[in-house]
Amino acid sequence: RVRIRDRYESVSWSFYQLRQMIEYKGIRSGAKVIAANPEYTSQKCPKCLRTNKANRDRKKHHFCCRECGYGSNDDRIGAMNLQRIGMKYIAEVAV
Ligand SMILES: [Zn+2]
């Protein structure tokens, strides 16, 4: 038995293991792997960039922005935000 707020982490593949595999595969293929802070990536709207906890419905796995109305699957939203963080890093830091 797990608390609802811990459920995602408990049933998901170990984040550590996943990161290890991504880094391993990245190095093998000559790609650079960037680690990004995933905090709020499922609550932030990738369109208007406003963050609101109420944007995400964890039970339905759906994201709907309270400000602009943009909606999609919450994992997709998280991936879009991580991509933006990665692109920002490449533009500002990696030359
Ligand atoms: Zn929005």
**Spacing, Cα 16 to ligand 1 middle (Å):** 31
Residue 44 and residue 66 in contact, taking contact as beta carbons nearer than 8 Å: no
Give the C-alpha distances (Å, rounded to integers) separating 39 from 42, 53, 87.
Answer: 8, 12, 17
Per-residue pLDDT, 64: 98
**Spacing, Cα 61 to ligand 1 middle (Å):** 17
**pLDDT tens track for 7-30:** 665 666 677 888 899 999 999 999
The pLDDT of 58-68, averaged and rounded, is 96
Residue 11 and residue 58 in contact, taking contact as beta carbons nearer than 8 Å: no
**Spacing, Cα 70 to ligand 1 middle (Å):** 5
The pLDDT of 59-72, averaged and rounded, is 97
**Spacing, Cα 65 to ligand 1 middle (Å):** 5
Map out the domains of the chain as residue ranges: 1-33, 36-95
Mean of pLDDT over the chain: 88
**Spacing, Cα 44 to ligand 1 middle (Å):** 8
Per-residue pLDDT, 34: 87
The pLDDT of 28-34, averaged and rounded, is 90
